[in-house]
Amino acid sequence: MTTTSEHLQRTLDGRWRDTKAMIREKLSLEIFRPHFTPTKEVARTRVNEQLKIIAAAGQAEDGFQKERGGTGDAGAAVTKIEMLAMSDLSLMVKAGVLWGLFGGAVENLGTERHHERYVRPLITLDLLGCFAMTETGHGSDVQRLETTATYDPDTEEFVVNSPTPSSRKDYLGGAAESATVAAVFAQLITNGKNHGVHCLVVPIRDADGNDLPGVRTWDCDYKGGLPGVDNGRIMFDNVRVPRENLLNRFADVAADGTYSSPIENPNRRFFTMLGTLVRGRVTVGGSAAQAARVALDIAVRYALQRRQFNAPGEDREVPIMDYLMHQRRLLPYIAESYALQFAQNELVSAMHDQETAAVRDVEAQRDLEAQAAGLKVVSTWHASAAIQEAREACGGAGYLAENRLVELRADTDVFTTFEGDNHVLLQLVAKHLLTEYNDDIKSMSPFEWVRFAANYAGERVSRRTAAEQIMQRIIDNREDNSEEGSLYNRGTQAKMFEDREQYLLSSLARRLQRRAKTMSAFDAFNSVQDHVMHTARAHIDRTVLEAFIAGIDRCEDTEARKILELVCDLYALTVIEKDKAFFLEHRLLSTERARAVNNGINERCRVLRPHAQTLVDAFGIPEQLRDAEMLHPERLPEPGSPAR
């Protein structure tokens, strides 16, 4: 008989549930059992061993098309890498860099000649690559990278060079030890003209691990976390590579140096190239959220067995999970974990459908890139906050390495800044929304703009969501019978999220329009960056809530569905509480209802308390991956034995 937690897990696992089940089984092997690694040498060796096991089982094939030796299941490829985060985030990052970033560059930016040469060796680990984009002087501003690739028509070679100290390629996973080739992003120069950033495959090491002539690599050594990832730095001193090493799907250079591209506009060409690499950002967000679920699973199980203080008239101490404050510390994060998983399911599905379509939809691709950026932001910030709270909720025991939480916290810390700094990515989301507005408002008179902001903005905000028909039905059928009762009404919650986004986006557009008359475009945008960030976050919150609602609609079990409804309430009320000042200030929340938000959160925590273990069981984390020593007080270590 299927349990409620199994029904919840099935709903959470979504479209690639079979893939997740298979990876859970693989991660139950002893070699994937987490343990503390005191040195980077031990950690790197262990990760490399794990990577070989994964490759031997054919786990890398999904990321590549069938005609190139893979299966072409892009959704499964991302899902498999995300799931590795349950075991070791160093392993997840190594796999992500090798098959997601380097492999993604070859797959999506290269053509047949590159696929034939590189894909199969990548799948089998006979070729190890790294992704050389970030430089010491430029991270987010990829268009200003300083590394150059200058074409020499006499030898039909590109000369790759690092002209300044700040052009050093930095923080590259695999560059310190294991990678033998790099996907290098550089300014492409032919016949004296710079055509902007393009990607080339550049060998960096020989078979014995020695730097090739003109290549200099460094080890980034110890970091704040991820000891199993050999992050390194690279500089090039006029390194020559054949013309064929240019990944030439979107641009090519003829033997005589003539440059050609099917995309004439340089900016559009650049963003088209970067857009095809969205898979990495999707994976980072999903993996961070996966790590948070492991931490919350451990913390909840500890709270269910850890006891403190006697209740009046009772002889035994109370489990700390029975205290409201402890419930409020953990259960809202669990609710957010559910919400983010449903949103990730929608995102991975959209990415898979776009990547496997016969013809890519340009508008859908832009939406995908913005959603990937936004979900990466909230998922990685969620991981940082949730894992820290889980650590603190376990007291001193949570600070011991044997209980996983400090390692999870350290390993996920960098996720907020790689694959794009979160604050920069929020601006990307807002700019995407404003670009859509600009198409409609640029030719309007002031009167037409006011009418548009008041009426049409709602349609513009709410289109293309995960649950468009469901959302419309819920909003149309909402009933506000009482101040507190309406807070549990799904339509009311959805309308509040939608109204907040609509107001913020339309008012941001108006502010920018006013400033554009007296300021430069930079100053105008710079002066409203606080508003930009708030708008982007409101948009992401709405899409996450709608994904949650769509997920509930797909749940087939009555009892599991009831629990999901309660969890969704807790998520929605927690978001409202965090931005209560805005809702009050703009009269989207009455004073009476604002006071009821706190009571509503308390009530949902109380009702969900008996389901605490069921909720984390549904995360489907294999037993050995949450095998924290503090959950097994019956185990007595041998005298003198070190922590695992």
Exposed/middle/buried for 519, CB within 10 Å: 0-12, 13-18, 19+?
Answer: middle
Confidence of residue 123 (pLDDT cuts 50, 70, 90): very high
145 shares a domain with 85: no
Exposed/middle/buried for 6, CB within 10 Å: 0-12, 13-18, 19+?
Answer: middle
Residue-averaged pLDDT of the chain: 90
Higher pLDDT, 530 or 435: 530
CA distance 286 to 281: 9
Confidence of residue 476 (pLDDT cuts 50, 70, 90): low
Residue 537 falls within a domain, yes or no?
Answer: yes
Cα first-last separation, the chain: 37
CA distance 230 to 220: 8
CA distance 228 to 41: 8
Please say which residue of 241, 265, 289 terminates a domain. 265
Over 90: is that where the pLDDT of 603 sits? yes
Residue 111 structural domain: 4-124
382-423 pLDDT per residue, tens: 999 999 999 999 999 999 999 999 999 999 999 999 888 999
Q: What is the CATH number of the domain that holds 141?
A: 2.40.110.10
379 shares a domain with 527: yes
162 shares a domain with 60: no
CA distance 617 to 297: 8
CA distance 504 to 531: 7
Q: Which one-letter amino acid corresponds to residue 107?
A: E
Q: CB–CB of 427/529 below 8 Å?
A: yes
Output the pLDDT for position 525. 85
Nearest to 129 by CA among 98, 160, 94, 101: 98
Provide the 8-state DSSP code for 19.
H
Output the pLDDT for position 638. 66
What stretches of 110-195 show up as alpha helix (H) in DSSP?
112-114, 120-124
Output the pLDDT for position 362. 84
Angle 289-631-388 (CA atoms, 0-180°, nearest 5)? 35
Reported as type and span, the H/E element at residue 425 is helix 422-441
Min mean pLDDT across 85-94, 262-271, 289-298, 355-364 is at 355-364
Q: What is the 3-state secondary structure (H, E, C) of 246-315?
A: ECCCCCEECCCCCEECCCCCHHHHHHHHHHCCCHHHHHHHHHHHHHHHHHHHHHHHHHHHCEEEECCCCC
Provide the 8-state DSSP code for 205.
B
Residue 99 falls within a domain, yes or no?
Answer: yes
Q: CB–CB of 250/275 below 8 Å?
A: no
Residue 467 falls within a domain, yes or no?
Answer: no
533-572 pLDDT per residue, tens: 999 999 999 999 999 999 999 999 999 999 999 999 999 9
Mean pLDDT of 494-509: 92
CA distance 300 to 389: 11
Over 90: is that where the pLDDT of 639 sits? no
Exposed/middle/buried for 505, CB within 10 Å: 0-12, 13-18, 19+?
Answer: buried
Q: CB–CB of 51/177 below 8 Å?
A: no
560 shares a domain with 426: yes
Supply 111's token pair.
């053509």
Q: How many domains does the chain have?
A: 3
340 shares a domain with 250: no
Q: What is the CATH number of the domain that holds 79?
A: 1.10.540
Output the pLDDT for position 22. 94
350-370 pLDDT per residue, tens: 999 998 888 888 888 889 999
Please say which residue of 265, 292, 321 terminates a domain. 265
Supply 49's token pair.
């061993």
Residue 468 falls within a domain, yes or no?
Answer: no
Residue 331 falls within a domain, yes or no?
Answer: yes
421 shares a domain with 442: yes
Candidate ranges 62-76, 92-106, 442-456, 457-471; pick with highest mean pLDDT? 92-106
Output the pLDDT for position 457. 44
CA distance 168 to 179: 17
Output the pLDDT for position 453. 44
Q: Are strands 193-203 and 215-219 parallel, antiparallel or unpaired?
A: unpaired
Output the pLDDT for position 469. 64
pTM for the model: 0.92
Q: Return the percentage of the chain with pLDDT > 90, whole number.
A: 73
CA distance 21 to 10: 10
235-273 pLDDT per residue, tens: 999 999 999 999 999 999 999 999 999 999 998 899 888
504 shares a domain with 577: yes
383 shares a domain with 517: yes
93 shares a domain with 220: no
420 shares a domain with 527: yes
Output the pLDDT for position 309. 86
Over 80: is that where the pLDDT of 50 sits? yes
138-178 pLDDT per residue, tens: 988 899 999 999 999 999 999 999 999 999 999 999 999 99
Buried b (16+ CB within 10 A) or exposed e, 130-140: bbbbbbbebbe
Output the pLDDT for position 456. 43
Beta bridge partners of 432: none
Q: CB–CB of 347/283 below 8 Å?
A: no
Residue 629 falls within a domain, yes or no?
Answer: no
401 shares a domain with 486: yes
Output the pLDDT for position 181. 98
Over 80: is that where the pLDDT of 466 sits? no
396 shares a domain with 301: yes
Cα 10 from chain centre: 22
Q: What is the CATH number of the domain that holds 507?
A: 1.20.140.10
Output the pLDDT for position 338. 98
Token pair 């310190």 in the structure block, residue: 176
Nearest to 397 by CA among 288, 303, 481: 303
Residue 447 falls within a domain, yes or no?
Answer: yes
Residue 403 falls within a domain, yes or no?
Answer: yes
Q: CB–CB of 624/298 below 8 Å?
A: no
Q: Which one-letter amino acid corresponds to residue 530?
A: D
